[in-house]
Amino acid sequence: MNYDNILSQFQNGITTITINRPNKLNALNTETIQELHEAFNMADLDKSTKVIIITGSGEKAFVAGADISEFADYDVEEGQELSAEGQELLFNYIENLSTPVIAAVNGFALGGGLELAMAAHFRIASDNAKMGLPEVSLGVIPGYGGTQRLPQLVGKGRAMEMIMTAGMIDANQALNYGLVNHVTTLEELIPLCEKIARKIMRNSSVAISSAIKAINANFKDGINGFDVEIEEFGNCFGTEDFTEGTTAFLEKRKADFPGA
């Protein structure tokens, strides 16, 4: 499939989706959000894709935010629509995807860019990365889930400070905050993501998608995460992966999961 604003490449079980608007520091306009939705959807449906990596093109930015030029003259209804559509199409969509998503944060991840990285299942940053939610400096607030996911990841007080000051933190502070799991050089960023992806791929993809559901349940209103865990745990017992995983262990060999 051909896209105007992103690239999607598959190799050895990994689909790498790259936002490709380097002249605009990969800012997210509505067309890019739509293309990302399609690319994530296709990768999730493709059974040979075991892990998805999302990154930005160039050496400067992951994503420098939502495209400010697009919404500068929006009114109240248009603003709400922008936020609701974006959350549904991309940010909540990625968070709830059954295929693991790693954000490779390769530079500025600001506003919608940090919100995109936070919607991924976990984040790895290059040492030049800078992260922040600068929306209040534009007279608006984060609208793609940032007010909810940042406190979940770094705690309420740190999130309040980051959002109120509109400031940026560097990669090491993000590591210290638990916002990213690892920091490496720009050259090693994708290789490290791929190394971790290969570790993930050795395991049951069916069990991993159940784990994503159960972990996410902890953060959903009106849903009891322990109940979801019980249900997903039970479901695993009906899968071919479970039969293969337990049989392989008892036969003292490596499991070869069918992914079903």
We find the least distance from the C-beta atom of residue 74 to ligand COA, in angstroms, to be 12
Measured over the CA atoms of residue 92, residue 53, residue 35 and residue 111, the dihedral's sign is positive
Q: How far is the CB of 197 from ligand COA (least distance, A)?
A: 28
Work out the number of other CB atoms within 10 angstroms of the CB of residue 220: 11
The single residue among 51, 110, 116, 162 that binds ligand COA, judged by CB under 6 A, is 110
- CA dist., res. 115 & res. 142, Å (int): 8
Q: 6, 14, 17, 27: which one contacts ligand COA (CB under 6 A)?
A: 27
- Are 197 and 170 spatial neighbours (Cβ–Cβ below 8 Å)? no
User: 35 an active-site residue?
Assistant: no
Q: Tell me which residue of 83, 85, 97, 123 sits closest to 39, measured CA to CA.
A: 97
Provide DSSP, 32-56.
Answer: HHHHHHHHHHHHHH-TT--EEEEEE
The 148-187 site mask, x for binding ligand COA (CB under 6 A), equals ----------------------------------------
Q: Are the CB atoms for 77 and 143 separated by under 8 Å?
A: no
Q: Which is nearer to ligand COA, 56 or 111 (CB)?
A: 111
List the x/- string, 39-78, binding to ligand COA by CB under 6 A.
Answer: -------------------------xxxxxx---------
Find the angle CA(54)-CA(59)-CA(61) to the nearest 5 degrees: 60
State the number of binding residues for ligand COA (CB under 6 A).
16
Distance, CA of 215 to CA of 210 (rounded, Å): 9
Enumerate residues 6+ apart whose C-beta is below 8 A from 133.
110, 111, 114, 115, 142, 146, 150, 162, 163, 166
Write down the catalytic residue from 115, 187, 229, 232: 115
Stretch that binds ligand COA, among 38-46, 104-112, 118-126, 150-158 (CB under 6 A): 104-112
Q: Rule CB under 6 A: choose which of 56, 111, 145, 146 binds ligand COA.
A: 111
Closest approach, Cβ 220 to ligand COA, in A, equals 26
* Binding stretches for ligand COA (CB under 6 A): 24-25, 27, 64-69, 108, 110-112, 134-135, 138
Q: Which residues are the active-site residues?
A: 115, 135
